[in-house]
Amino acid sequence: MALENDALMSLLLAYSVILVALEIMSPGAFGHGISWRGHITHARSLLAKRLERMSVKRVSGIAEGEGGEEEEEGFRFMQSWLGYVGIMGSLMASPMVDSVSSASELLPCSAFSVVPSRLGEELDNLGCMTGLSMRCVGLLGRVNDLSRQCDRERFGLDDRLWLGWSPTSSTAEQALVLEQNMIKSLAQTARPCSHGRAGNMHVRDVKEMATINEAFHWAGLIQLRRRVLGKPTNDADVQLHVRKILICLEKLRTGTAAEIRCLFPIFTAGCEAADKDQRRRLLSRLESAERSGMKQASASDRKRRKILPIPGEQTLLTQVLLQVYHARLLLERVWTEGRPWEELIGDEFIA
């Protein structure tokens, strides 16, 4: 009975993770009852219960049964992905939205019995799904924690930004230390995770993943300087980081999934772009991501319907990758209205 309950809980968790992903990419695909934030909360609850049972069994010396190691690896993968989604969803949210969670609650570093030396090696492995290292995601989690803390001071009850805000000396010190840690992280050699190595990834794909990882670092540094250190758009380092992101984008092929994965850096750079040429280049990559996403979705949808046609089913093609579409509309509003994205964002997922 215990094994059956575990299997059911694992199945429910897998479905919850799928719903999170679907609601992010195609908001309202199955109605507008529950947002992606609600699905994350539910998935985290299921994951916590399953991890608790696994921990009890580990302490008690009870075997998980056949495939136990593979299943644990699968849970760690899901926790890493939920950690990424939770952190980015909180980092790029309205100040009025409650934080999904802190990085320490979501990342798998302390939840599994990973040997410390192995964990150190894995910190710079590039995840298959996100293209980011765990080190990068952890640092972004810290940027999120400080940003959310400062958002409570930067914005009034009317959701408008207070002009002339500056951080406390303690917050500024923490931010500067974090900034240095992020710069050091950029110098780390990124490599594919074990899944990528086992799958014989193309060298070009590995290079693009490393480029995405770099772009996320620069975007995180922009968020840190703007929201925690209170620097203006024309700050020299902010503009340097914008240019660094543009350089990263030049290394990515157009019309590929890499562009979709770079939504957060593109959007962040776009909000701080200093001239029309920069905005034009960033907007062009967003539009390319929309087109490539629709092509991939169309091919996938045609293949699925040949295998499992569902009579009367409404196609999801009109919903696919509304995530990128909504991000582009939000960025254009930032430009036309001249207001910070924090005042304009709704339930968009910018990552």
The angle that helices 322-337 and 276-307 make with each other, rounded to 10 degrees, is 160
Other CB atoms closer than 10 Å to residue 184's CB: what's the count? 11
In a domain, 137, yes or no: yes
CA distance 128 to 125: 9
In a domain, 31, yes or no: yes
The pLDDT score that the predictor gives to residue 337 is: 96
CA distance 15 to 27: 16
Query: In the block, which residue shows the tokens 């090696």?
Result: 121
In a domain, 315, yes or no: no
Domain of residue 75 covers 2-252
CA distance 229 to 140: 15
In a domain, 291, yes or no: no
CA distance 311 to 333: 40
In a domain, 54, yes or no: yes
Other CB atoms closer than 10 Å to residue 120's CB: what's the count? 11
The pLDDT score that the predictor gives to residue 179 is: 98
The pLDDT score that the predictor gives to residue 246 is: 98
In a domain, 313, yes or no: no
In a domain, 14, yes or no: yes
State the Rg of the chain over Cα: 21
- Of the candidates 314, 214, 197, 316, the one whose C-alpha atom is nearest the C-alpha of residue 265 is 214
Structural domain total, the chain: 1
In a domain, 276, yes or no: no
The pLDDT score that the predictor gives to residue 76 is: 73
Question: Would you give per-residue pLDDT tens digits along the chain (351 residues)?
Answer: 455 566 666 767 776 777 777 677 666 666 566 777 777 777 877 777 777 776 666 666 555 554 456 666 667 777 778 888 889 989 999 888 876 555 445 565 543 333 333 455 678 888 877 789 989 999 999 999 999 999 989 998 777 888 889 999 999 999 999 999 999 999 987 777 655 555 566 778 889 999 999 999 999 999 999 999 999 999 999 999 999 999 999 999 998 888 989 999 999 999 999 899 999 999 999 999 988 766 555 555 555 444 444 333 334 444 446 889 999 999 999 999 999 999 999 888 898
The pLDDT score that the predictor gives to residue 308 is: 42
CA distance 336 to 182: 32
Q: Could you say which DSSP state residue 127 is in?
A: P
